[in-house]
Each structure stands twice: as structure tokens, then as C-alpha cells.
Amino acid sequence: MRPPLVLTIAASESDGAGGLQADLKTFTALGVYGAGAVSMVTTITAQRVLDTHPLPAAVVRGQIDAVVEDLRLDATKIGALGSAAVVEAVAASVRAQRGRLGRIVLDPVMVSAHGTPLITAEGARALRDSLLPLVDVLTPTMAEAAQLLGRPLATTIEEIREQALALQATGPGTVLITGRLLEGDDVVDVLVHEGGTDLLRAERVPGRRVRGAGATLSAAIAAQLARIAEFDRAGELGEIGEAGSDDDMVTIVASAREFVASATENAHDWRLSRTAGGYGPLNHLITLGS
């Protein structure tokens, strides 16, 4: 007997709001054991990114390979990688260890919430060419989707859908483009999967400034995929739907979005920073009770 197990390959963020720290908090909140491989060390505050240090590619690959050799993974989440060399190292590990990584979720982090680039242009090209064809789920923002495709930023839901389909054609079976940058009373995320296209709506909360929502969303999707693998091992998959059914991803993504929304709402009165303004964290403690 063992818990569902997810590996996150992501940047360490010093204030704990995003990156690998947010991933591990999300896994714990959702009842999943988390392992980690650090891709980059980021010095960051609520107000700005002070510095970034991508690790040597061999160090990143060594961490991944050690975890895969030792632990029985059900899913893997990939976040910020920082450089083309690290992207290529992660892609090499995925190709070599594909059968041991479970289903793979890629959050193609390129720019921080503060607007600071978190990957080189060469690294962004490597993401598109080397890593996208290897993953199962891709969760870009509208800006990241446009950059990956070399297209202008989408301005309508239909354009977002077209870009999601174009990204799906590169390899991922599921693409979720988050639509926060699209104007309107609701935030509309576009989900393209093997069963078709779904529009997922949520009420926009004006003035809410949080960081780590994208990392938390992709980590929650990976956690839910790992839980499905756990049901499969226990012979209880029928309780949540047949393996591979078209509605699996819609249910998984909807559940992950609900967790992010609740974690955001329950952090509205947190005052962690010594200085006013900036981007606050999500409240990943919501499942732990009072």
C-alpha cells in the first residue's frame, strides 16, 4: 500500500508563493505525496523578482533520474525550467524514463506575475520543439500560448480555441489555456481534450493580486491524475469513470480550478508581507481545517 505520488520539476521560489513550494503544498493539501527536482533557484518577493539562477543541466537531470529510480511515480508536473540546457535535460530524462513518470503535466512558465522573464528565448524554443511533444497535459496562459506558437495574443475565445488546437497538434492530448487576460465579467478558460472542447467559466474578482495560481492549477491537475492512478491500482476506477473516458479531463480540470478558486478566496485577508502591495500567496491550507 502507498499513497499517490507526484514528482514536480520546478523552480524553488524563496517566498514560497509559487514554483516548487506551491506544488508541494498543493500535493499535500490534496492527499498526494510530493517529490521534487529543483530546476532553478529564484530570489523573489511579493513586489519583484530579484534574481534567477538556473541549475546546471546535469544536476537537474540527476535529481529526476534519482527520483525515478527510487520512487513509483503516478504523475509528473513540470514548471519553470529557466534555460534551454535545462529544458533539453528534462526532455532527455522524459524520453529515457517515460514509462516510469506517469502522466505528465507541463506548465510552460515563461514570465513571472511581475512581468520578469523566467526563461531565455532559446529556452522557449526548446520547450516548444523538445518538450511539448512528450507531455500529456499543457497548461499555458494566453501569453504563453501565443509565444509558443509564434502568434499574436488571442483577443477572442475562438482565437484561444484555435491556439489550443494548434498546441494540441504538437503532441499534448489535453491543452488548457487560462483566459485571465481576456476582458469580460467572467474568466473563461479553454480546455481542448480528446473528447472535444469545453469552456470553463469563473466569476472575475477585481483587484485580486495573487501569485502561484498557475503553478497550483497545474499541480492540482497532476495530483488528480495521480489519484486516478491510485483508484486504478485499487480496482476502484469505476467509481470515477472508466479509464480514458472523454469526461475524465473535464472533471479533473474542474476540480483543480475549484481548489485554486477556494485557495485564492481564503487568502484574501492574509497579510504576510512587511510592505504593502505586490502579489500575495494562495492559501493551500484550506483542506487542513481550523
Per-residue pLDDT of the chain (290 residues; tens, 9 = 90+): 789 999 999 999 988 888 999 999 999 999 999 999 999 998 877 777 788 889 999 999 999 999 999 999 999 999 999 999 999 999 999 999 999 999 999 999 988 776 777 788 898 899 999 999 999 999 999 999 999 999 999 999 999 999 999 999 999 999 999 987 777 667 889 999 998 999 998 776 665 677 788 999 999 999 999 998 765 555 555 544 454 444 589 999 999 999 998 888 887 666 655 555 567 788 888 887 64
Residue type, 87: V
CATH of 5-267+278-285, one of 3.50.50.60, 3.40.1190.20, 3.40.50.2000, 3.40.190.150: 3.40.1190.20
Q: What is the pLDDT of residue 69?
A: 95
Cα–Cα distance between 23 and 33 in angstroms, integer?
A: 11
Cα–Cα distance between 219 and 206 in angstroms, integer?
A: 25
Q: What is the pLDDT of residue 205?
A: 64
**Would you kindly state where each structural domain of the chain is located, as residue ranges?**
5-267+278-285
Cα–Cα distance between 7 and 5 in angstroms, integer?
A: 7
Kindly give the pairing relationship between strand 186-193 and strand 174-177: antiparallel
CA dist 223 to 116, 170, 189, 252, Å? 28, 24, 20, 9
